Amino acid sequence: MPRPYVILNAAMTLDGKIATVTGDSRISCDADLDRVHRLRAESDAIMVGLGTVLADDPSLTVRRVRGRNPIRVVVDREARTPPNAKVLRGPAKTIVAVSRKAKPQRIKRLRAAGADVIVEGAEKVNLRRLLEELRSRGVRKLLLEGGSTLNWGMLEQGLVDEVRVAVAPYIAGGANAKTLVGGAGFAKVRESAELKLSRVTRVGRDLLLIYQVAGVRGAEKAR
């Protein structure tokens, strides 16, 4: 079954943090934010994990440039997205992808708040099947905007095609500060996601690195 082309985009400090220990995630510069909004406008959907919705309450709309709003997708195992979250408001359509663990009452509440709820997977959301479902609904290009846990879930299963990272000139430190990719991690370097550098550019004060995902041996093993 076909799935969308997936671009993982994030802003991180030089030491790989996507938020500080206190959760401050305003990392990239204005020029990079413009780039992200252009990328959003070129995408059919933007996907984030529940942790990002709870931490940042993002709108996930196109505001800094002119362009259409992509569909917003929240991966949320137990349907815990607050019904008053910004991601459920505004002009764009929102899909909340939940697992069968989600209580019907919570699903009902999200539907009442305007979300389209997709139930996919027993314990966790089955990300591959979710992507296939999104593709069948016309999503060809999907922008994955984090956070750390969902980035791992997608990479681990070999569901990311391209990585775009803006490296901001800061070092945040903090053993518990969220990094670009969290989760369990690959045991060996040779089993990790292997990338091929395709472009390096300066965007304002940040450095934009664009990579193609060459392969994920660990993912092939897990299948």
Chain residues that interact with ligand NAP, rule: CB under 6 A: 10-11, 18-19, 23, 25, 27, 48-52, 55-56, 75-78, 80, 99, 124-125, 127, 145-150, 153, 178, 182
| Nearest approach, Cβ of residue 10 and ligand NAP (Å) | 4
| Nearest approach, Cβ of residue 174 and ligand NAP (Å) | 12
- DSSP collapsed to 3 states, the chain: CCCCEEEEEEEEECCCECCCCCCCCCCCCHHHHHHHHHHHHHCCEEEEEHHHHHHHCCCCCCCCCCCCCCEEEEECCCCCCCCCCHHHCCCCCEEEEECCCCCHHHHHHHHHCCCEEEECCCCCCCHHHHHHHHHHCCCCEEEECCCHHHHHHHHHCCCCCEEEEEEECCCCCCCCCCECCCCCCCCCHHHCEEEEEEEEEEECCEEEEEEEEEEEHHHHHHC
Nearer to ligand NAP, 182 or 204 (CB): 182
| Nearest approach, Cβ of residue 25 and ligand NAP (Å) | 3
How are beta strands 94-98 and 116-119 bridged, if at all? parallel
Nearer to ligand NAP, 71 or 131 (CB): 131
| Nearest approach, Cβ of residue 118 and ligand NAP (Å) | 11
What's at 36, amino acid-wise? Answer: V
d(CA 135, CA 159): 13
Nearer to ligand NAP, 102 or 139 (CB): 102
Nearer to ligand NAP, 94 or 190 (CB): 94
Nearer to ligand NAP, 27 or 139 (CB): 27
Nearer to ligand NAP, 169 or 190 (CB): 169
| Nearest approach, Cβ of residue 172 and ligand NAP (Å) | 10
Q: Which two tokens stand for residue 115?
A: 């979300």
| Nearest approach, Cβ of residue 26 and ligand NAP (Å) | 8
